[in-house]
């Protein structure tokens, strides 16, 4: 029986948000859980995330938001991926008011993780998204 390949996760910061400590921690959590993590870095555009998703053949895209633009940028990432013919799930992490979570889900975001998310929640959300299971 062939070994299953590890989940490939692209993590990036969208827009002009320069706060990257959280996404670096998430990258480490996912690496420690056995995922292959592609860190796209700061100041990515929706097009650059889509291009990297295609090039790296990722299973899940994780974007970090701390600038209050989550209702604009996260749906734009999802739309860019879908326009390219990709159904890659998108997870948003960062500062997202609870009242905005339903709007993000309606826009196609698979999961939203706030600042208090545990390591286990991060890994479970990525695995669930990769498996096509919606989470809160």
- 2 in a structural domain: no
27-65 pLDDT, tens digit each? 999 999 999 999 998 999 999 999 999 999 999 999 998
pLDDT, one tens digit per residue, over 68-90 is 889 999 999 999 999 999 999 99
User: Do residues 118 and 127 touch, judged by C-beta distance below 8 A?
Assistant: no
CATH number for the domain harbouring residue 83 = 3.40.50.280
24 is written with which tokens? Answer: 């670096």
Q: What is the predicted pLDDT for the residue at 15?
A: 79
pLDDT in tens, 9-35: 999 999 777 778 888 999 999 999 999
Which residues span the domain enclosing 75?
8-130
Whose structure tokens read 């690496």?
A: 31
DSSP 59-121: SEEEEEE-SS-HHHHHHHHHHHHHHTT----EEEEE---HHHHHHHHHTT--EEE-TT--HHH
Largest CA distance in the chain: 47
Q: CB of 78 within 8 A of CB of 107? A: yes
Number of domains in the chain: 1
C-alpha span between 133 and 14 (Å, rounded):
24
Sign of the Cα pseudo-torsion (51, 52, 58, 62, in order): negative
pTM, rounded to two decimals:
0.93
Across the range 117-131, mean pLDDT stands at 96
Torsion angle defined by CA atoms of residues 86, 56, 53 and 89, in that order, rounded to the nearest 10 degrees: 70
Q: Is residue 135 part of a domain?
A: no
The confidence band for 109, taking pLDDT boundaries of 50, 70 and 90, is very high
């Amino acid at each position: 029986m062939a070994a299953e390949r590890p989940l490939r996760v692209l993590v990036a910061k969208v827009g002009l948000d320069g706060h990257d400590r959280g996404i670096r921690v998430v990258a480490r959590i996912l690496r420690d859980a056995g995922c292959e993590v592609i860190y796209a870095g700061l100041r990515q555009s929706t097009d650059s995330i889509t291009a990297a998703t295609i090039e790296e053949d990722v299973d899940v895209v994780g974007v970090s938001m701390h600038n209050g633009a989550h209702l604009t940028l996260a749906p734009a990432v999802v739309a860019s991926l879908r326009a390219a013919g990709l159904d890659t799930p998108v997870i948003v992490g960062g500062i997202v008011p609870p009242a905005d979570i339903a709007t993000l889900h309606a826009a196609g975001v698979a999961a939203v993780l706030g600042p208090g998310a545990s390591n286990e929640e991060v890994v479970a959300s990525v695995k669930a998204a990769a498996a096509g299971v919606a989470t809160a």
